[in-house]
Chain A
Amino acid sequence: MTNSAIAYYPGCSGKGSSEEYDLSTRAVMRRLGAEPQEIEDWNCCGSSPAHMVNHELSAALSGRNLAQAKRMGHHLVTTPCPSCLTNLKNAQQAAWDEDKRLKINKLMDDECPTDVDSISTLQFFTEHIGLDRIREAVVSPLPALRVACYYGCLTTRPPKLMRFDDPENPMSMDNILAACGIEVVPFPLKTDCCGAASGMPRNDITTRLSGKILDMASELKADAVAVACPLCQMNLDLRQSQVNRARRSRYRMPIFYFTQLMGLAMGLPEKELGLSKLAVNPEPCLARAGVR
C-alpha cells in the first residue's frame, strides 16, 4: 500500500471542541495508507457567520486556505467538517466567475485558486480508499453494536455543490460502518437538522430539534448515534443534558464520530480515538456490546 498524501483542513473545532474527531480522522486515514498533510498556517473559514454577512468575505477566508494548500503542491483538500467543506467549495466555485474572482482576490490580497478541489473525509474514505480496503483493515468487528448513522444537513446538501451521495437518503456512512462489522439501523432522520448554530442564541430551537433525533434513535433501539459533523456532535452529545432538561427526557445515548467507530474496529489505541472526550460516557454501551 503506497502512502497517498492529501491536504488536510482540520477546522477550528478540530483544535477545540471536536479534537477527538480530528485525532481519530488522522489515525484512521494513516491506518488506511493515506497521509493527511495539514494545511500550513490555515485560518478559520468563518463558518456560517461569515456567509451570513457576505459571500465574498466568506470566499476570501476560505480562499486563503485553498491558496495555502496550493503552495504546498496540493490540488485536493479533505476536511472532516461539513460546514468548512461548504465554505471551501463555495470559494472555489465563486472564483470560477471572473467578476467575483477579482473581488475575492482584492479582499485576499492574493489569488484564490480555481483548481483546488475539496471533499469531505467521508467522501475520501468512500471514493479514494474504498470499502474493500476498509474491510481488510478491520481486526475487531463490532456486530453487537446497533448504530444510527446521522449525517446532518450539509454532508450531502446542497446536492449541486456537494456532488456526493444521496441528499435525502445518504448511505456512505452506513456502508463504511457496515464494512466495519457494525449493525446499522435504517434511520429516517439521517439528514434532519440538529438546530445547527442556534445552541447559544436560541437554545429552545436546538434542544427541540436535537431532541427529535435522540427520540428516533432511542425508538429504533440504537445503542449509539454516529455523526460526521462537529456541530451535530456538540448538539447531540454535549447538549444532551440541556435536551434532557428542556424535554424531561433521560437519554444517555453515546454520540460517536464515525471515525472513532472505524478506529475501534481497526483496533487503534484509545489515545488515537479520544473516546474519553465524549460528554456522554460511551463505556457502558461499549461494554454491553462486548467491545471492551
Chain B
Amino acid sequence: MPDSLQKNDKTFLEEVERRSGQHMVECYQCGNCTAGCPFNFAYDLPVSKIMRLVQLGQREAVLSCHSIWLCASCQTCTARCPNNIDVAKIVDVLRHMAREAGYATERNVKAFGDSFLASVKKHGRLHELGVAVGYEMRTGRFLTDIDLAPTMIGKGKLSIRPHHLHGADKVAGIFNRFNEGNHD
C-alpha cells in the first residue's frame, strides 16, 4: 500500500516526540541530514525520509526499516540540522521502540548489541572475546573476524579471561532493575 493510503497514527508521532524531547514539526525536509549520513548507501530509508514518515504517523514503515538498526550514532545529522533537531537521538529512540515492539530487522546488529550487554552484565566490564563468542552463538556465524584473532592474540590484545570487578554485582543489579521495570 502506498504511504499516503496508510492510516496516520498520531500516537506514534506523540510518543517519538515525548521520548526524544524533539519537535518533529520543525523538520522542513531540507535533506541536510541525509546528505551527510555516512550510512545512507546502506539504508533502505534515508534519515530525512524517516523524519517525514514519523511526522505522518507511519509507525509500521518506520519501525520495520533497516536504517534505524544500521545507524552508527555518528551525530553528523544532529550536527548539521539547520533547525537544531537532535536527529541521531530520534533514531536512537526509534531503535528502542522497534526493539520493544519485537522488530529486529538487522538481526546481526541486534545480536552484536545483545552479546555486548550480556558480557557487561556478567562481568561488569566488557570481555571482548566473550562478545565474539556470544555473537557467534547467537548468529551461527562461526568464522566472523577469525582472521583477526592471530594478530590480536600475538599483540596481547585479546584477553582470554574477563577482568574481575568488585562491583560486578552492582552492575548486574542495574541490569536486573532495568529488566524488572517498565522503561521507555
Contacts and interface: CB of A to CB of B under 8 A. Distances in A.
A107 B70 CA distance: 28
Nearest to A242: B147
Given A201-B108, A279-B151, A41 B178 contact: no
Interface stretch (A142-150, A171-179, A189-197): A189-197
The majority secondary structure among interface residues of chain A is helix
Nearest to B148: A238
Contacts of B148: 238-239, 241-242
B166 A60 contact: no
Contact of B70 (A12, A205, A276): A205
Interface in B142-184: 144-145, 147-148, 151-152, 155-159, 163, 165-168, 170-171, 173-175, 177-178, 181, 183
Nearest to A205: B42
A198 to B, nearest CB: 7
A218 interface: no
Nearest to A209: B38
Contacts of A15: 125, 159, 163
Given A43-B124, A200-B145, A279-B151, A55 B92 contact: yes
B126 interface: yes
B102 to A, nearest CB: 14
Interface stretch (B2-10, B45-53, B55-63, B111-119): B111-119
B112 A201 contact: yes
A60 B174 contact: yes
A238 B155 CA distance: 11
B33 interface: no
Interface string A196-212: 11111111110011000
Contacts of B75: 153-154, 157-158
B156 A277 contact: yes
Contact of B117 (A41, A53, A203, A239): A53
Interface residues of A, number: 62
Contact of B155 (A41, A242, A276): A276
- Interface core residue of B99, B117, B165 (most chain A CB under 10 Å): B117
Interface string A34-56: 00000001011011111111111
Interface string B96-115: 10010000001011011110
A33 to B, nearest CB: 30
A57 to B, nearest CB: 5
Interface string B120-152: 100011101000100100000000110110011
Nearest to A201: B108
A238 B128 contact: no
Interface string A1-38: 00000000000110111110000000000000000000
Given A16-B158, A64-B171, A201-B108, A53 B79 contact: no
A80 interface: no
Interface of B: 38-39, 41-42, 70, 72-76, 78-79, 86, 88, 92, 95-96, 99, 106, 108-109, 111-114, 116-117, 120, 124-126, 128, 132, 135, 144-145, 147-148, 151-152, 155-159, 163, 165-168, 170-171, 173-175, 177-178, 181, 183
Interface of A: 12-13, 15-19, 41, 43-44, 46-57, 60-61, 64, 103, 106-110, 153-154, 157-159, 167-168, 191-193, 195-205, 208-209, 238-239, 241-242, 276-279
Report, nearest first, the 3 A-B pairs whose CB atoms are least far apart.
A153-B74, A12-B126, A201-B108
